[in-house]
Chains A and B, each alone.
Chain A
């Protein structure tokens, strides 16, 4: 591995100052499960690696604030999977967090790192899009709250500017009953990167949000306002017609070694229908007092 300097700041202010000073020559280290691989492969050669895990302000990992669940930048996937508020209110996020890597990876990898790494196949992007998460960013000019849909830009690219770091990801508690589900397509059972990531969320009132990734440069969020997908009386054909239109912007890469574009596009429809079905089941349970 190429050598670098290691910084272990105790505060967010110290971290931001270092990031501002070093710019592109600095890299943040949270779980390190992606970063260490890039360092070892010499894909990145930062002058300084800044470990955020000793920043006191980033504890506790997960807490409730003003109608939102705040997941700090040092929260690992295992924390999220085991959190009772996440399980109760954001089951699709727990379903995505529990399939990231292996047990060992989930014990280190953070949610913030998963989003900042900018992989189009990041498991947690679709549920964060469906749940309308907001990324809390602190930089030299202060704090910005960026909707996740604006934060995700493209492969390896986020809305973070020089000197900025993510301190938390906040998920608003739904203001009306919602059912949501996450599902993915992999080549095998067990540990694998996804060929499709997909989350479907249905609100009481009929609005359905669908987010899908690994079929283009970034995960996409689309919304059905017509109510057809949530309508018990709509036929499967009606729903398939709406779903097809929602997948219109999928553009899977022909160069991927995981699955061909034709297979991904075909499976996208299958996974979309399945996730919708599960989301509707969960919504109906929410509606039973």
Chain B
């Protein structure tokens, strides 16, 4: 047992090895230790979804996970959606529909939508609402966000 621990994990395809304080969250480690600030900190109680990332194939709130719990895990953050510096079709759809207003919730919305489309490539509007119900948008841009997800699905995106 220790209050610091060495962990190794794969983040957006690259292996990262680092020492973390055991009481720091995975969100802290991503933003402060790995400089991946695309993942946002907001409510820190798992209600807003701004810190959503993918861990071992499932979407999670990174504010509700200790960094040490991710030892050995495969992590994807919003920085991992683009390939070769080209936005993913899902990200393009968010741009085209004007889904991002202030933009603060969008990293989380994208990750939740990415998880939804991987599980369910052709969701109905209700399924989009359900799938994104853990992601709040204070600008209330839900109409455009849902439209972006449906448009991306139509083009076969994840």
Contact = CB atoms under 8 A, between A and B. Distances in A.
Contact of B22 (A4, A32, A53, A107): A4
A103 interface: yes
Contacts of A32: 64-66, 69
A36 B134 contact: no
B2 A105 contact: no
Given A3-B22, A5-B1, 15 more contacts: A2-B23, A3-B3, A4-B3, A4-B23, A5-B22, A6-B1, A29-B66, A32-B69, A36-B65, A36-B66, A101-B134, A103-B131, A104-B61, A108-B60, A191-B133
A49 B24 CA distance: 13
22 contacts: A5-B2, A6-B1, A6-B3, A7-B1, A29-B69, A32-B65, A33-B61, A33-B64, A36-B25, A36-B65, A37-B46, A39-B23, A49-B22, A51-B68, A51-B69, A101-B46, A101-B134, A102-B49, A103-B134, A104-B46, A104-B52, A190-B129
Interface in A14-56: 29, 32-33, 36-37, 39-40, 48-49, 51, 53
Which of B2, B129, B134 is packed against the most chain A CB atoms within 10 Å? B134
Contacts of A101: 46, 134
Report the contact-size class of chain A (Cβ under 8 Å from the partner). 20 to 34
A74 interface: no
Interface of B: 1-3, 5, 21-25, 44-47, 49, 52, 58-61, 63-66, 68-69, 112, 115-116, 129-131, 133-135
Interface of B is mostly: mixed
A32 B55 CA distance: 14
A101 B64 CA distance: 13
A141 interface: no
Interface of A: 1-8, 29, 32-33, 36-37, 39-40, 48-49, 51, 53, 78, 101-105, 107-108, 189-191
